Amino acid sequence: MPGNGFRGDPRQLWRAFRWSMNGLRAGWRHEASFRLEAMLTVVLVPVGLWVGHGALEKIALVFPVILVLSVELLNSAIEAVVDKVSPEFHELAGRAKDMGSAAVFLLLVLVALCWGLILGPRWLG
């Protein structure tokens, strides 16, 4: 299939996996927010799988938590590129970094909303 980067070579798949692991390691090594969110994920994913009733609830509890990690990595990538390209302050650089941070914040709100809507009625009523 032309244009997709994968030519049927398992070595390419292995290299892509290694690059992904490098990205996770870099996130862990250099980003305190990623470390905190990763530790929360280690707790929340098993709890979500345990307390969720049925597949849809389990997905609604687990998926947003993992999505936070993904967007945190993208936010960190944006910040790294912005810092490399524009080390001095620039309004657009600040805006890009703030918007990446806002994306992570909105996902954290989504996590709280999903957990609250699913577990709140059970624990409060």
Considering the domain boundaries, does residue 61 fall inside one? yes
Considering the domain boundaries, does residue 1 fall inside one? no
How far apart, in whole angstroms, are the C-alpha atoms of residue 55 and residue 42? Answer: 19
Considering the domain boundaries, does residue 48 fall inside one? yes
Considering the domain boundaries, does residue 24 fall inside one? yes
Residue 104 structure tokens: 């992570």
pLDDT at 87: 83
Our count of domains for the chain comes to 1
Could you tell me the CATH number of the domain that includes residue 14?
A: 1.10.287.3610
How far apart, in whole angstroms, are the C-alpha atoms of residue 55 and residue 112? Answer: 19
pTM: 0.85
Choose, from 31, 72, 79, 91, the residue flagged as catalytic.
Answer: 72
Considering the domain boundaries, does residue 20 fall inside one? yes
Contacts of 44 (CB under 8 A, 6+ apart): 61, 62, 65, 111
Contact assessment for residue 49 and residue 99, using Cβ atoms and an 8 Å cutoff: no
pLDDT at 125: 76
Considering the domain boundaries, does residue 63 fall inside one? yes
Considering the domain boundaries, does residue 69 fall inside one? yes
pLDDT at 1: 45
pLDDT at 86: 86
Considering the domain boundaries, does residue 3 fall inside one? no
pLDDT in tens, the chain (125 residues): 455 555 678 889 999 999 999 999 999 999 999 999 999 999 999 999 999 999 999 999 999 999 999 999 999 999 999 999 988 889 999 999 999 999 999 999 999 999 999 999 988 87
pLDDT at 5: 57
Is 91 in the active site? no
User: What residues make up the domain containing 32?
Assistant: 10-120
Query: CA geometry: angle at 23 spanning 5 and 79, to 5°?
Result: 105
pLDDT at 65: 97
